[in-house]
Amino acid sequence: MIVLEVENYQQMSEKAANIMFQYVAEGKKAVLGLATGGTPVKTYDLLVSRIQNEKTDLSHVHTVNLDEYIGLDEKHPQSYHHFMEEHLFQHVPIPKKQTHLPNGNAEDLNEECIHYEQIIESLGGVDIQLLGIGANGHIGFNEPGTPFDQKTHLVDLAPSTREANARFFASLDEVPKKAITMGIATIMNSKNILLLASGESKADALKQLIEGSVSEACPATVLQKHPSLTIIADEAALSSLSDEARSKINQSNVSC
Ligand code: GLP
């Protein structure tokens, strides 16, 4: 695990955008696992600027998103399809047919879960998976209690997750109750993982992730077992760390 501590959201986003840019600028096939939510918005902004300024060829880039709400039209402003168009896809030349999100309106949602896994497999797996983290330690929409061996599946969203995401909707009632998400096993299969966290609301979850014991009660703790995990977090998000964990980060800014 590599933990990069930065001062604030802006610095977190700059570092993350630079890392993501390296993957797409190499000129060889890259499969990006993408995330939504408030956390990566600035990362996408900065990535878009860099790609536009440098006129980067993205014909070799493929994307797979973590999750999508069930029952929201793709054009709904809060669907993750819409989010990705708004923050990334419409601004950069990734071929449309190379961008993938789970279809939360599929007629057979169980079949869609299998189909989504097949897409990821056919691409040869994810090279780098971008992740945020929920205040309850969820990753993607894998809520506390999700078995670690699950692949793409359907979930009932935790009340706390719906409440956290209500800020993007007109009211809590409008937040969908179900979603389709890559499972923990899917996420753990990614070759590299880049997790971003900013703000005090993530401090407890991040403390669990960095120094807690691995437990399905806090899904993000499974990431301790990933061979190539980088966390970029700001001071507020790291504010609950014990002195011991903090000193390890400060000494080397790398290991934990
Ligand atoms: C959402 C998403 C996650 C995201 C997390 C944190 O519900 N499904 O992929 O990482 O919650 O969101 P935010 O970045 O808005 O705090």
**Cα 239 vs. chain centroid, distance in angstroms?**
21
- Catalytic pick from 5, 62, 65, 67? 67
SS3 106: coil
Name the closest-CA residue to atom 3, ligand 1. 140
pLDDT for 246: 87
- Catalytic pick from 136, 142, 165, 189? 136
> Residue 193 contacts by C-beta under 8 Å, 6 or more apart in sequence?
128, 129, 131, 187, 223, 226, 228, 229, 230
Alpha carbons 85 and 68: distance in angstroms, whole number: 13
pLDDT for 249: 76
Name the closest-CA residue to atom 11, ligand 1. 134
Query: Is-catalytic flag, 250?
Result: no
176 lines ligand 1 (CB under 6 A): no
pLDDT for 252: 53
Query: Is-catalytic flag, 67?
Result: yes
The atom of ligand 1 lying closest to the CA of 199 is 16
Domain ranges within the chain, ordered by starting residue: 2-249
Query: Is-catalytic flag, 57?
Result: no
The atom of ligand 1 lying closest to the CA of 161 is 7
The atom of ligand 1 lying closest to the CA of 181 is 8
- Per-residue pLDDT tens over the stretch 85-114: 999 999 999 999 999 999 999 999 999 999
132 lines ligand 1 (CB under 6 A): yes
The four Cα atoms 160, 83, 28, 223 give a dihedral, to 10 degrees, of 0
The atom of ligand 1 lying closest to the CA of 40 is 14
pLDDT for 251: 62
136 lines ligand 1 (CB under 6 A): no
In 138-159, which positions are buried (b, 16+ CB within 10 angstroms) versus exposed (e)? Answer: bbbbbbbebebebbbbbbebbe
Q: What is the DSSP letter of 32?
A: E
- Per-residue pLDDT tens over the stretch 145-178: 999 999 999 999 999 999 999 999 999 999 999 9
The atom of ligand 1 lying closest to the CA of 202 is 16
Name the closest-CA residue to atom 10, ligand 1. 132
| CATH classification (class only), 2-249 | alpha beta
Alpha carbons 112 and 235: distance in angstroms, whole number: 39
| DSSP tally for the chain: helices H, then strands E | 8, 10
What is the strand order of the sheet 128-131 is part of? 2-6, 229-234, 192-197, 128-131, 30-34, 61-65, 99-100
10-residue block means of pLDDT along the chain (256 residues)? Answer: 96 98 94 97 98 97 98 96 98 98 98 98 98 96 96 95 93 96 98 98 98 97 97 97 86 51
Mutate to test the pocket of ligand 1, among 70, 81, 138, 204 (most ligand atoms within 8 A of CB): 138
Query: Is-catalytic flag, 143?
Result: yes
Distance, CA 164 to ligand 1 centroid (Å)? 9
pLDDT for 253: 55
**Are residues 25 and 54 in contact, defined by beta-carbon separation less than 8 angstroms?**
yes
Name the closest-CA residue to atom 9, ligand 1. 140
